[in-house]
Amino acid sequence: MAQQAVTPQSVDFSKWYNEIVYKADLCDLSPVRGCLIIKPYGYELWEAVKNGLDRRFKATGHQNAYFPLFIPESFLKREAQHVEGFSPELAVVTIAGGKELEEPLVVRPTSETIIMDSFKNWIQSYRDLPLLINQWANVVRWELRTRPFLRTTEFLWQEGHTAHATTEEAEAETMQMLEIYADFAINDAAIPVIKGRKTEREKFAGAVHTYTIEAMMKDTKALQSGTSHNLGQNFSKAFEITFLDQNNETQNPWTTSWGLSTRMVGAIVMTHGDDKGLRLPPKVAPIQVVVVPIFKNDDEKATVMSAVTQLSKELLEANIRIHVDKREGMSPGFKYNDWEMRGVPLRMEVGPKDVQNGTVALARRDIPGKEGKQFLPQAGIAKTVQDLLNTIQSNMLQQATEFRDANIFDVSNYDELKGLMDKGGWARVWWAGSSEDEARIKEETGATVRCIPFEQPGGNDKCFFTGKPADTIALFAKAY
Amino acid sequence: MAQQAVTPQSVDFSKWYNEIVYKADLCDLSPVRGCLIIKPYGYELWEAVKNGLDRRFKATGHQNAYFPLFIPESFLKREAQHVEGFSPELAVVTIAGGKELEEPLVVRPTSETIIMDSFKNWIQSYRDLPLLINQWANVVRWELRTRPFLRTTEFLWQEGHTAHATTEEAEAETMQMLEIYADFAINDAAIPVIKGRKTEREKFAGAVHTYTIEAMMKDTKALQSGTSHNLGQNFSKAFEITFLDQNNETQNPWTTSWGLSTRMVGAIVMTHGDDKGLRLPPKVAPIQVVVVPIFKNDDEKATVMSAVTQLSKELLEANIRIHVDKREGMSPGFKYNDWEMRGVPLRMEVGPKDVQNGTVALARRDIPGKEGKQFLPQAGIAKTVQDLLNTIQSNMLQQATEFRDANIFDVSNYDELKGLMDKGGWARVWWAGSSEDEARIKEETGATVRCIPFEQPGGNDKCFFTGKPADTIALFAKAY
């Protein structure tokens, strides 16, 4: 019950993160190496992410389905780059029902291979295309270094898998899904992600192109927050998927896949959190308003609770997610800290004086201290609160955007990049290097190309690393 | 595309089921032994089950969380009956990240053990109780004989796990959750389940009591459709969970668990389906109304589609789940058969004459042929359709209830039971037998005690098997 101090972000951001996810009750340690227990508060946050995405997927014609957890080992080997990328991370079932299995079963690290095996049966003609499938599932990748939500052995995600009659349609789908991820990140999670393309070195194992949304965490490191892959005909050829096109010719379809995981919970924590705890954007917050009744005796309690009941009713009717903190034996101050730790966007304090004045105190989580606290009339409370929540939502996006923009620097030579990587920040550079150049830069500075942003300034200049002519801007940063 | 005949239920019910689940596009065969691919139409049905239950769980104060897929082998061994029950069915990961694991990891067959390990950390005082957790997850049980939805190696389910300060509260929770299952089954899935208690022989491995909802399939076999377990202190003692009660005494809490799975999809198919295909209750049907436009030329098409657009708009605004079948090159008759196979509760036909008359034809899936077809005005269509859907929902429950009641027979001696088990039906008997008696009856007739119904007639009579005095009625049947 004691509220211990949190390591400040400025002292050790990584330690801050590792403390905060547990203190805010998002998750718990698991007895299984690298796995995470997602506690109810963290799971509700994940449900908000799920609902926000699922709605967008369905609105664009995608359907959910479910494929087996286990993948025959032979399937994974069919696409050469794919198996190379995933082999070191696989968990393998060798015994089942008391017997050794003839063919070991891999616990899915991703489901391209098993889903393509079905697509082979489901696709015969161009009339069967596009085929737009999504799956909500758990996947397992045996990671050496794990971190709550950011990198865990088992994680929850959605994986979309689609097939198309033309390369143009596949490309349009790949882009559409990246736009959906960006729309969710920016407008619901208040994370000002940058959209772009991954380099050859950083793309998905088996993809032609990988697109990504990259977010800047509060320590200025990057977090890849969602990716969308144009798989070309790599998988359809490996899995012998064919269709008869409108001219009655046999073709391999073009496929895509795209995924976003519980990592998004980590992104929300590290984009918005501060030394007092989480700060959750209202649109995804499990609790949008916490109501703290304040009283010293039974008389005051009766007065205050009657007002609280009425206010709660009005807020619930307006579909605002509220929680009344009725815990006894705790001071209001203790409760304030507790809910600040959990990142509830708005706190409503109701005491006897407030009842007398027909007001409530509303304290914003996005603006600390007295500056964020207002006394407002009880009359019309639902509209007042909804307006404030909207303001908080856009303010949080603005704060994060300003932080991001203040930490992206134009860098014109390698020494500058090295300096920046020591200091912290993203480097915006003209780039014409090779995969080998990228590898050397990573080796020497820890920085990788996060993406080639879709938004390009145009024109050209010298590559910051090779000095060759470059017509493309790239973003380099250290990343999770 | 060709519509092949289905094996009639009367010829071979089991074959009918195995054909229908694929023809109605609920699922597909998987390349992994015993696993199932749930196709979009089947998954939407499962989502309706999920949403119906999740809403009820949250309304009764339960919270979702997520625990690891993998369970250390040692955990499973802590509760003796539990490990005995599940050992033969386990899938075991022995290799991960390219190395042999020191302690093998079991893929969860159910999560009591790993969740109790967390409860040990989360529960200290009576103030932490009740702890009401639910998990939506996949589980794996290596079954020898599998059947789509009814028994698969991997399946989807929810598992509730709760802890309480008193045995009375645990018992009340166990009952409450069974009531929730029954409420969903009866009111949403239109399955008139019978609530009751499992015998010692049939209860969950590790439970004190198991309660069940039992449904009668159309071949008169029983399907256990959801179970709720009072686990007493068995697991809390095995996992050393303790709390300080209000008198400051250390106690072990009383725990419960309860689960309902994708098996419910099979229950819906086998309760309502007929020789033409599925029949889905409106409340859970992914599509409640299919609209089939009928026209012979472009002029007619323009007229008909303009009416269809208007009708669709009105139905969508009333939150009715509709689908307009715009496929070309298919006769209306072909489409009718197709949607009857998929069990859509109501079909709306709109042709040029209907437009002229300001009417539509509405054909009910629950009443075959002309008797189920009406011509009704387009004006006020949303209300007309909603009323019809309500009527279909209650009619389907009534049909299933009548079928069930017509196939439960009072049986007063063992010969009668044998005869009934050959013929088909459930036996209602006075019962005072032992677990050994049950084993012999199962061995000789295939019948098991499905439950001791909560609803008892009172009074007493001779046990149909042992002849001993009995004050309890039991239901015997063959089961899936």
> What is the reported pLDDT for A233?
97
Mean pLDDT confidence for B14-28: 97
Mean pLDDT confidence for A376-401: 98
How far apart CA A288 and CA A365 sit, in angstroms, is 10
Residue A3, pLDDT above cutoff 80: no
How far apart CA B214 and CA B360 sit, in angstroms, is 40
How far apart CA A276 and CA A5 sit, in angstroms, is 9
Measured in angstroms, the CA of B391 and the nearest CA of chain A are apart by 29
Nearest to B68 among A35, A93, A118 (CB): A35
Residue B469, pLDDT above cutoff 90: yes
**CB atoms near residue B398 (< 10 Å):** 13
Determine, for residues B69 and A97 on separate chains, whether the beta-carbon distance falls below 8 Å. no
Strands A99-107 and A36-38: unpaired
Following CA atoms A452, A453, A457, A460 in sequence, which dihedral angle do they give, to the nearest 10 degrees? Answer: 0
Q: The domain A13-272: what is its CATH number?
A: 3.30.930.10
Determine, for residues A69 and B140 on separate chains, whether the beta-carbon distance falls below 8 Å. yes
> What is the reported pLDDT for A1?
45
Q: Cα dist. B83→A56, B106, B206, B232, B238 in Å?
A: 43, 12, 9, 17, 12
Q: Does domain A289-388 have CATH number 3.40.50.720?
A: no
Mean pLDDT confidence for B61-67: 98
| Nearest residue in chain B measured CA to CA from A153 | B68
Determine, for residues A70 and B36 on separate chains, whether the beta-carbon distance falls below 8 Å. no
Mean pLDDT confidence for B104-129: 96
Determine, for residues A30 and B68 on separate chains, whether the beta-carbon distance falls below 8 Å. yes
CA-nearest of B349, B188, B212 to B272 is B188
Give bridge partners of residue B107 from the DSSP assignment.
B70
Measured in angstroms, the CA of A59 and the nearest CA of chain B are apart by 14
Q: Which residues neighbour B250 within 8 Å (Cβ) at sequence distance 6 or greater? A: B242, B243, B244
What's the pLDDT band for B1 if we cut at 50, 70, 90?
very low
3-class DSSP state for residue B83?
Answer: helix
DSSP string, B219-265: TS-EEEEEEEEE-TTHHHHHTT--EE-TTS-EEPPEEEEEEEETHHH
How far apart CA B22 and CA B25 sit, in angstroms, is 5
Residue bearing tokens 């004045």: A357
How far apart CA A229 and CA A171 sit, in angstroms, is 9
Q: Which residues of B touch A155 (CB under 8 A)?
A: none
Determine, for residues B44 and A66 on separate chains, whether the beta-carbon distance falls below 8 Å. no
Determine, for residues A94 and B92 on separate chains, whether the beta-carbon distance falls below 8 Å. yes
End-to-end CA distance of chain A: 32
Residue B343 tokens, joined: 């069990």
Measured in angstroms, the CA of B152 and the nearest CA of chain A are apart by 11
Least confident of B81-95, B269-283, B309-323, B405-419: B81-95
CA atoms within 13 A on the CB side of A379: 2
Measured in angstroms, the CA of A91 and the nearest CA of chain B are apart by 4
A426-463 per-position pLDDT tens digit: 999 999 999 999 999 999 999 999 999 999 999 999 99
Q: Which residues of B touch A144 (CB under 8 A)?
A: 97
> What is the reported pLDDT for A222?
98
Residue A388 tokens, joined: 């404030």
Nearest to A92 among B32, B70, B93 (CB): B93
Residue B325 tokens, joined: 């079948």
Touching check for B338 and chain A: CB below 8 Å?
A: no
CA-nearest of B285, B404, B402, B378 to B340 is B285
What's the pLDDT band for B456 if we cut at 50, 70, 90?
very high
Q: Give ranges for CATH 3.30.110.30 in chain B.
A: 408-477
Residue A135 tokens, joined: 């799956």
Q: Cα dist. B412→A406, B289, B422, B431, B466 in Å?
A: 85, 47, 16, 10, 11
How far apart CA A477 and CA A424 sit, in angstroms, is 8
Q: Which residues neighbour B62 within 8 Å (Cβ) at sequence distance 6 or greater? A: B132, B133, B134, B160, B162
Alpha helices in B145-246 (DSSP H): 167-183, 234-238
Determine, for residues A94 and B95 on separate chains, whether the beta-carbon distance falls below 8 Å. yes
Nearest to B38 among A40, A66, A105 (CB): A66
Q: Give ranges for CATH 3.30.930.10 in chain A.
A: 13-272
Q: Which residues of B touch A67 (CB under 8 A)?
A: 30, 37
Nearest to A37 among B92, B118, B156 (CB): B118
Q: Which residues of A touch B77 (CB under 8 A)?
A: none
| Nearest residue in chain A measured CA to CA from B62 | A40
A219-256 per-position pLDDT tens digit: 999 999 999 999 999 999 999 999 999 999 999 999 99
Best mutation target, B51, B58, B67, B328, to test chain A (most A CBs within 10 A): B67
Q: Which residues neighbour B436 within 8 Å (Cβ) at sequence distance 6 or greater? A: none
CA-nearest of A24, A5, A23 to A287 is A24
A442 in Cβ contact with A448 (< 8 Å): yes
Following CA atoms B266, B267, B268, B273 in sequence, which dihedral angle do they give, to the nearest 10 degrees? Answer: 80
Q: Which of residues 139-198 of A touch B (CB under 8 A)?
A: 140, 142, 144, 154, 156
> What is the reported pLDDT for A4?
67
Give bridge partners of residue A348 from the DSSP assignment.
A291, A362
Measured in angstroms, the CA of A95 and the nearest CA of chain B are apart by 5
Determine, for residues B91 and A93 on separate chains, whether the beta-carbon distance falls below 8 Å. yes
Q: Which residues of A touch B114 (CB under 8 A)?
A: 31-32
> What is the reported pLDDT for B3?
60
* A410: enclosing H helix or E strand: strand A408-410
Percent of chain A with pLDDT strictly greater than 70: 99
Give long-range contacts, CB 8 A cutoff, 24+ apart: B302-306: B303/B352, B303/B355, B304/B350, B304/B351, B304/B352, B304/B355
3-class DSSP state for residue A287?
Answer: coil
B193 in Cβ contact with B213 (< 8 Å): yes
Topology classification of domain A408-477 = Translation Initiation Factor IF3 (3.30.110)
Touching check for A107 and chain B: CB below 8 Å?
A: yes
Residue A2, pLDDT above cutoff 60: no
CA-nearest of B190, B188, B183 to B398 is B190
| Nearest residue in chain A measured CA to CA from B106 | A93
Give bridge partners of residue A260 from the DSSP assignment.
A158
| Nearest residue in chain B measured CA to CA from A91 | B96
CA max distance for chain A: 83
A424 in Cβ contact with A220 (< 8 Å): yes
B377-388 per-position pLDDT tens digit: 999 999 999 999
Under DSSP, the state recorded for A151 is: B
Determine, for residues A88 and B104 on separate chains, whether the beta-carbon distance falls below 8 Å. no
What's the pLDDT band for A343 if we cut at 50, 70, 90?
very high
Nearest to A64 among B47, B72, B122 (CB): B47
| Nearest residue in chain A measured CA to CA from B121 | A28
CA-nearest of B213, B223, B118, B201 to B174 is B213
Determine, for residues B69 and A140 on separate chains, whether the beta-carbon distance falls below 8 Å. yes
Q: Which amino acid is at A355?
A: V
Radius of gyration for chain B, computed over Cα atoms and rounded to the nearest angstrom: 25
Q: Which residues of A touch B87 (CB under 8 A)?
A: 98
Determine, for residues B154 and A87 on separate chains, whether the beta-carbon distance falls below 8 Å. no
How far apart CA A134 and CA A128 sit, in angstroms, is 16
| Nearest residue in chain A measured CA to CA from B125 | A1
Q: Which of residues 215-234 of B touch A (CB under 8 A)?
A: none
Q: Which residues of B touch A137 (CB under 8 A)?
A: 138
For residue B130, whether the previous peptide bond is cis, meaning omega lies within 30 degrees of 0, is yes
Q: Which of residues 48-87 of B touch A (CB under 8 A)?
A: 63-72, 75, 87
End-to-end CA distance of chain B: 32
How far apart CA A185 and CA A191 sit, in angstroms, is 5
Q: Which residues of B touch A96 (CB under 8 A)?
A: 90-92, 142
| Nearest residue in chain B measured CA to CA from A28 | B118
Q: Which residues of A touch B66 (CB under 8 A)?
A: 37-38, 43, 46, 156
Least confident of A11-15, A83-87, A117-121: A83-87
Determine, for residues B91 and A104 on separate chains, whether the beta-carbon distance falls below 8 Å. no
A59-68 per-position pLDDT tens digit: 999 999 999 9
How far apart CA A187 and CA A232 sit, in angstroms, is 30
Neighbour-count burial for B91-127, b at 16+ CB within 10 Å, e otherwise: bbbbbbbeeebeebbbbbbbbbbbbbbbbeeebeebe
A450 in Cβ contact with A212 (< 8 Å): yes
B335-349 per-position pLDDT tens digit: 999 999 999 999 999
Q: What is the pTM of this model?
A: 0.96
> What is the reported pLDDT for B82?
80
For residue A130, whether the previous peptide bond is cis, meaning omega lies within 30 degrees of 0, is yes
Nearest to B142 among A36, A67, A96 (CB): A96
Mean pLDDT confidence for B70-96: 89
A452 in Cβ contact with A431 (< 8 Å): yes
Q: What is the mean pLDDT of chain B?
A: 96
| Helices and strands per DSSP (H, E), number in chain A | 14, 25
Q: Which residues of A touch B39 (CB under 8 A)?
A: 65
CA-nearest of A316, A365, A357 to A336 is A365
| Cβ neighbourhood burial of A372 (10 Å; 0-12, 13-18, 19+) | middle
Q: Give ranges for CATH 3.40.50.800 in chain B.
A: 289-388
Q: At what angle do helices B263-272 and B13-23 cross, to 10 degrees?
A: 110
CA-nearest of B209, B213, B200 to B229 is B209
ipTM: 0.96
Nearest to A68 among B93, B98, B154 (CB): B154
How far apart CA A364 and CA A389 sit, in angstroms, is 9
Residue A398, pLDDT above cutoff 70: yes
